[in-house]
Amino acid sequence: MKHHQTRILITGGAGFLGSHLCDRLVREGHEVLCLDNFFTGTKNNIRHLMKAPNFELIRHDLAHPAFLEVDEIYNLACPASPIHYQYNPVKTIKTNVMGAIHMLGLAKRVQAKILQASTSEIYGNPTLHPQPEAYWGNVNTIGIRSCYDEGKRCAETLFFDYHRQNRVNIRVIRIFNTYGPRMHPNDGRVVSNFIVQALADQDITVYGDGSQTRSFCYVDDMIDGMVRMMNGPDTFVGPVNLGNPGEFTILELAQMIIRLTKSNSRIKFEPLPQDDPLQRRPDISLAREKLAWEPMVELEQGLKQTIQYFRGLQDP
């Protein structure tokens, strides 16, 4: 009889992070099931995997149940950029909450291990800096970002309730801003926006005065942290922050991207969107201690890789 391969379901597998995770797990020889409704993900992100015998694509919307036989689930399905998650906010909540219930129900039935891609957004506009996992956050329940923030918070609650009530084997990671090749060029996130604008010599749109901060993690580092968490001991369920602790103002990011692309773009200041957090930086002591993980890729190095990808999209 053939040795049993680990069968791994990745929801949102055709998206930015999901497709890199598919790459990694297919390369390691696991049987990978990629589930996606292609709301923000595309077949282009995974086209190169379609011929792999250990890769399978399922078109499905996670607002509805899915019945599959799997050993592990990475639950990533959810639009991640403000433009996309605000496009249909009710759907965003359904994807987060119903999606979590459906995947946790599946994990319970087939006794799969399940990892939730949570987010730094659960900290809201933080009053504590940097943010450790023990911080409960400062989130507006009724603002334009709430569909995402509260959807993700409720998903975390569901994970811990299924864990306590049904002994489901869970992992929860809180992902901080991550960037890299295969980001959607029009998803409005700051790194993709600035690179696309810089390459076209268009104005760089800095919202507010650009003094708000973010910490940017390169995708390869993030995927490594994710897989370490999934494969770590069952006693460490998280939540654990994953992100790069290097902190930059949005204005510094704009200037760095102009320099790296040798662009003639100029900086244009636009209004700051509602509820835009003023500062964000992960405290990653827990990930360092429990997963022996920390990011390796410097912002400048990661941006160069990302710029190269976006140049390729311009002239294929």
Indicate if the alpha-carbon torsion angle 270, 271, 276, 282 is positive or negative: positive
Residue 309's binding partner out of ligand NAD, ligand UDP, none, with CB under 5 to 8 Å set by partner kind = none
Residue 276's binding partner out of ligand NAD, ligand UDP, none, with CB under 5 to 8 Å set by partner kind = ligand UDP
Tell me: does residue 189 bind ligand UDP (CB under 6 A). yes
Residue 215's binding partner out of ligand NAD, ligand UDP, none, with CB under 5 to 8 Å set by partner kind = none
Tell me: does residue 225 bind ligand UDP (CB under 6 A). no
Task: Closer to ligand NAD by CB, 263 or 299: give it.
Answer: 299
Among candidate residues 170, 291, 155, the one with its CA nearest the CA of residue 227: 291
Question: First vs last Cα of the chain: how many Å apart?
Answer: 45
Site for ligand UDP in 116-155 (CB under 6 A): none
Give the Cα separation of 79 and 74 in Å (integer): 15
Supply the minimum distance, in Å, between the C-beta of residue 255 and ligand UDP. Answer: 12
Supply the minimum distance, in Å, between the C-beta of residue 282 and ligand NAD. Answer: 11
Q: Which two tokens stand for residue 126?
A: 């933080």
Supply the minimum distance, in Å, between the C-beta of residue 114 and ligand UDP. Answer: 24
Among candidate residues 99, 111, 80, 90, the one with its CA nearest the CA of residue 11: 99
Give the Cα separation of 273 and 277 in Å (integer): 10
Q: Lay out the site mask for ligand UDP across 70-99 (x = CB under 6 A, - = otherwise).
A: -----------xx-----------------
Among candidate residues 87, 84, 86, 91, the one with its CA nearest the CA of residue 62: 91
* CB atoms closer than 10 angstroms to residue 116: 27
# chain residues binding ligand NAD, by CB under 6 A = 26
User: Do 100 and 49 touch, CB atoms closer than 8 A?
Assistant: no
Site for ligand NAD in 99-118 (CB under 6 A): 117
Give the Cα separation of 185 and 181 in Å (integer): 10
Site for ligand UDP in 245-284 (CB under 6 A): 250, 272-273, 276
Among candidate residues 196, 199, 181, the one with its CA nearest the CA of residue 302: 181
Q: Which listed residue (8, 22, 33, 62) binds ligand NAD by CB under 6 A?
A: 62
Q: Lay out the site mask for ligand NAD across 135-174 (x = CB under 6 A, - = otherwise).
A: ----------------------------------------
Q: Which residues bind ligand NAD (CB under 6 A)?
A: 12, 14-18, 36-41, 61-63, 76-80, 95, 117, 119, 175, 177-178
